[in-house]
Amino acid sequence: MLSKPLIGGLAAAIALTLAPAAFSQGYPSKPVKLVVPFAAGGTTDIVARVVAAKITPHFNGQTMVVENKGGGGGVIGAAETARAAPDGYSLGVVTVSTIATVPAVQPKTPYKALTDFTPIINMAATPNVITVHPSFPAKDFQGFLAEIKNNPDKYSFASTGHGAITHLLMELFMSMTGTRMTHVAYKGAGPALNDVVGGQVPIMLDNLPSSLPHIKSGRLIPVAVMAPERLKELPDVPTLKEVGLEPVNRMAFYGIYDPKNLPKEVVDKVNDAVKKTLEDPTVRARIEETGSIVVGNTPAEFADQIKAEYDIYHKVVEERQIKPE
């Protein structure tokens, strides 16, 4: 006959084995929070809210509630997600900034980008674009490259912040092309675009959605895009892959992750619900209106994407000797 302590130990072991599966069967059984690590109104926030607004039919009838926790280039919101319980009720939106560029530039980021989170799904990705002011001597990529090559340190470029993707991508661009420009960091796309449109700074690398209205109005001239293929909005503008700069041909992304040790069953349920939501024509149309591309990949594919971005930007920071502010 088995002793009572042994029986109790076996029961506990069985319970621990079955707990994740039993837990996930009823998940979610209450509203789920989705932390956006930036202020309301930007592309990250728009993508999160359009998915959250339509996910309920695919999410066990539960709602997803978006909560904005901006600050620190996305670090404050990301740190909150890292500290949350791994139960699927406090998800976070992950971007290239929070998982790759900021940790690359700021070594004291209060989380470990590759080990403190569980990647779930990449919802969408946004192309980037290099633009110049209409007064710039060149109006296409080859002319642009020749001009900055022939005039090292003559030109400056604007970014959305020190260590932002728009900064580090241009550093990578300069490294690969052997060019030199002066970096001018702003606090966000709005003030940076104001000065480029106004002619105070001649060049900018930016997410497409914020620059596109100025391109359409003729106040900015696009010379190259970062996207898998040419964009229908800018069919005459080459991708950086086309011109031999594939490593710089990178997009911003907006995904969902949770703290490490999230049960696989919960990961799969969130992934499936978000993927089905992204198939909704109204959701897809709204995301594409921002200039973004719907993705909807697997957790493994998203983990590979995160690792690739993390590696490339850490290499850029090391090679270009970019220091924290």
pLDDT band at 24 (very low <50, low <70, confident <90, very high): low
Token pair for residue 6?
């042994």
pLDDT at 4 over 80: no
pLDDT in tens, 258-285: 999 999 999 999 999 999 999 999 999 9
pLDDT digits (tens, 9 = 90+) for 178-191: 999 999 998 888 89
Provide the pLDDT for residue 23: 52
Q: Tell me the per-residue pLDDT of 67-103, one tens digit each, with 9 for 90 and over.
A: 999 888 789 999 999 999 999 999 999 999 999 999 9
CATH of domain 128-248: 3.40.190.10
User: What is the domain partition of the chain in residue ranges?
Assistant: 30-125+251-320, 128-248
| Res. 128: pLDDT tops 70 | yes
**Cα–Cα distance between 113 and 310 in angstroms, integer?**
8
> Spelled out in words, what is the top-level CATH class assigned to the domain 30-125+251-320?
alpha beta
pLDDT score of 9: 44
Report the share of the chain in percent with pLDDT over 90. 77
Spell 165-199 as b/e; 16+ CB within 10 A means b: bbbbbbbbbbeeeebebeebebeebeebbebbbee
Averaged pLDDT for residues 3-15: 45
Burial 42-70 (b: 16+ CB within 10 A, else e): bbbbbbbbbbbebbeebbeebebebebbb
CB-based burial label for 125 (10 Å; 0-12, 13-18, 19+): buried
Q: What is the pLDDT of residue 135?
A: 97
CB-side neighbour CA atoms (13 Å) of 93 = 35
Say yes or no: do domains 30-125+251-320 and 128-248 share a fold: yes
Of 163-167, 170-174, 239-243, 295-299, the poorest mean pLDDT is in 163-167
> How much is the pLDDT for 141?
98
Q: How confident is the model at residue 324 (pLDDT cuts 50, 70, 90)?
A: confident
CA atoms of 298 and 122, how far apart (whole Å): 8
Structure tokens at 323: 């220091």
Q: Residue 314 in 3-state DSSP?
A: helix
The angle subtended at Cα 156 by Cα 150 and Cα 194, nearest 5°, is: 140
pLDDT confidence of residue 118? 98
Asked whether residue 39 carries a pLDDT value surpassing 90, the answer given is no
Lowest mean pLDDT among 17-31, 246-260, 299-313: 17-31
What is the structure's pLDDT at 5? 46
DSSP secondary structure, 172-190, as one string:
HHHHHHT---EEEE-SSHH
Please check the confidence at residue 14 and state whether its pLDDT lies above 60. no
Angle formed at CA 279 by CA 275 and CA 282, multiple of 5 degrees: 130
Phi then psi for 41, rounded to 5 degrees?
110, -25
- For residue 224, pLDDT beyond 70: yes
Query: In the predicted model, what is the mean pLDDT of the chain?
Result: 91
* Helix ranges restricted to H, the chain: 4-25, 43-54, 75-83, 96, 102-105, 141-150, 165-177, 189-197, 208-216, 264-278, 281-289, 299-320
